[in-house]
Structures are given as C-alpha cells and as structure tokens.
Amino acid sequence: EMEKKNKEYFSKIENLEKRDRYSQIQNKLTNAPKLDVKHDHKKWINTVCLINGRCIITGSKDQTIKGIEVGDEDDEKKILFTIDKAHDSDVNYIMKVDEHEIISCGDDGMIKRWYVDCSYSFDNKIKRYELLETFTINGSSKVHKCAYDIIRLKNGDLCSCGNDSTIKFWKKNNVSSKYENYKVLKCEAEYVQSVLELDDNKLVAGGWHHTQFFDIKEFKAETDIKNTFTEHANSLIRMGDKIICSGWGIFFIDIKTQQLLTTIQIEYECEEGIYCLAPLTDNLIICGGNLRTIDIYDVNNHEKVASRPVEDEFIFDVKIERDLALFCGSKSIFGYILSEFITGKNDAEEEEED
C-alpha cells in the first residue's frame, strides 16, 4: 500500500515537472525573436526551406519558386531570384538536396531538380538558378497525377508520392547524372501525401484514409492502418518509438507493433486541417493549420502560439533549420529564432551555468 502511494506521489510530481517544463518552452517560443520575411507571391505559399543559412527558398500556388535573402533581424530582405512558371500549377513541396540544389514537386505531376546560387555577390548578372532535369517515366514528365512529397533515402535514392496511389523510387544514373525510376509500389490510399523512412528498410506512406508500412528491401506492403476521423495524413514525423501523423487531428503509431496508439482532435481553422508537423524538442512538436505546440507525453496539453502575424493565417509548412523555425502560409513567411531553447536546458539549469 505504501509503495502504491509512493508511486502515485512521484507520478504527480513528474507530471507537474513536465507541465512546468512545457510552460517554460511555450513561453520561450512565444517570446522568441521573430523574423518577418517580405515577399511578392501572388497566392499562398505552400513550402519553404533554408539554403546556406541565409536564403529562404519558397514555392507557391502562384507557380513560382523564389529565393529570398535574409540577414540580421533589421536587415532589408532581398528577393534574389524568381523562377516564373516553375511548374504549370501549384508548387507543392521543395526538398533541399544541398546548398546549391533543390527538388520541387508540383500539382502538374512533375518533379524538377534545380541548381540555385544564394551566395553573397555584388554581381547582379550572376546566374542564380538553372533547371537541371525534369524527372520522366517512359518519356513522360508527368510522373504522378499530382506530386506531393519527395525524400532522400539513407542509401541516396529518392522516394516520391502523389495522388495516384503510388510511391516511386528513383536512382541517379552515374553516367547521365539524371534520376531514373526503378520501382513503383501501390498504396491503399488514393492521395498519398507524405512519406517517411524508418530504420531497418522500413518506410511509411501517409494519405487519405490510410497510413501504410512498407518493407523497402523486399519492396512489399506491410501493415495498413485505416484512419478514422482524421481522414488523412498530411504530414509524418518520427519521435522516438512513435510516428506522429497530422490530418484533421493528430494520431500516434507505435513503430515496433505498427499499431495505432491514440488519436487526439484539436481545434483548427483551416479546411486542410493540420497541414504540417516538426519536432521542437524531444517531447514537443509544433503543428500547422492554426499553429500550435503539443507535448507528446501530455497530449491534452496543447496551446496556440500567440504571435502569428495575421489572425486568420493558415500555416502550410514548417521547417526547423539550424536554430530557426521557418513557417509559410496563406499570407506570410516568418520565423522564430530558437537558439535560446532548443538546447533542451530549462531556466534553472541556465541560471546555474550563469
């Protein structure tokens, strides 16, 4: 009986410590130095990434890709380049390959690889971008009905997905230096919106009504989890032994058992639901839509970040790049400088060091 009471007591203490830690981080995020990025996109911005630590690459529903130079907080933001008609429809996603190369996915079903130069230069005639290749299958540049996501696998190959119930694998030809498709896997979901590689040759694909595991060594389907009220998995991230998926809610999947653990429904203000996720600390995630932080160990503890630039802003992408959290949405591009709290230290530890 005494042992049971001790466990209950220490459990309460642990929960209080977690909530105190969460409040500290939440407060630091809300009050973190903020970076507002001026842009001239005509429609909402779907995707964002950081090059060279000083250039933000954006892709928009207006079919353009832009490179925007950012420096110190008070520096004027400068548009380095604009790729007009980068795609024939929405630019859905941009993946950073390295400091001079990106890959874009479009609603036109195309995947394109670009050279970009975001280096500091007084030469206004410098060549800032170049199309290196448009991916093809059997001579067609429309490799998905709509191309939604692409990732680089641990072996260096690429994996893409779209709204044609497929995930497709690409390997770089050493002679032509162009990517060639070598495998296609069918998914249960019609709209496959995100892919995530795990350890041991496992891959997860998230889409409408389904989240599905695959063995990418044997190239065969494994567990299919049929989503309930969340409807679809817009974004997938891994945190420890769990996969966290966002859609019209947040749900958690155990990697080892490949089983659904729990589902939470939170208030959102976007017709697409919770469009993106990113890890902030070992237990805290930030999600798009109406921009919230969630403690994965206390799923009922989720709070709206107060400092969105526009109250009705919908956040479509979030990337954690070095010590900067970058966001883009229906109206703006902005960031929070996170170096103050991503170290994982709490206020008491910081005071001790001082």
**Global pTM value:** 0.83
Q: Are 30 and 305 in contact (CB under 8 A)?
A: yes
Task: Tell me the β-bridge partners of 260.
Answer: 253
Chain centre to alpha carbon of residue 303: 20
**Which of these, 296, 298, 292, lies nearest to 268 by C-alpha position?**
292
Q: Are 170 and 176 in contact (CB under 8 A)?
A: no
CA 204 – CA 216 distance, rounded (Å)? 10
Return the ∠ at Cα 223 (arms to 218 and 227), rounded to 5°: 140
> Quick one: 301 exposed, middle or buried, by C-beta within 10 A (0-12, 13-18, 19+)?
middle
Signed CA dihedral, 231, 232, 237, 238: sign only: positive
Would you state the pLDDT for residue 274?
74
Would you state the pLDDT for residue 342?
46
Per-residue b or e along 58-71, where b marks 16 or more CB atoms closer than 10 Å to that residue's CB: bbbbbbbbbbbbbe
Low-confidence ranges of the chain (pLDDT < 50): 5-7, 9-10, 12-13, 16, 74, 306-310, 341-354
CA 335 – CA 35 distance, rounded (Å)? 5
Would you state the pLDDT for residue 85?
95
| Residue 212 vs residues 85, 167, 202, 275: alpha-carbon distances, Å | 34, 11, 10, 18
3-state helix, strand, coil in the chain (%, to 5): 10, 45, 45
| Residue 227 vs residues 6, 239, 253, 259: alpha-carbon distances, Å | 39, 20, 11, 11
Would you state the pLDDT for residue 31?
63
Q: Are 18 and 298 in contact (CB under 8 A)?
A: yes
* Tokens matching residue 266: 């939170």
| Residue 200 vs residues 125, 153, 188, 205, 225: alpha-carbon distances, Å | 47, 12, 22, 16, 20
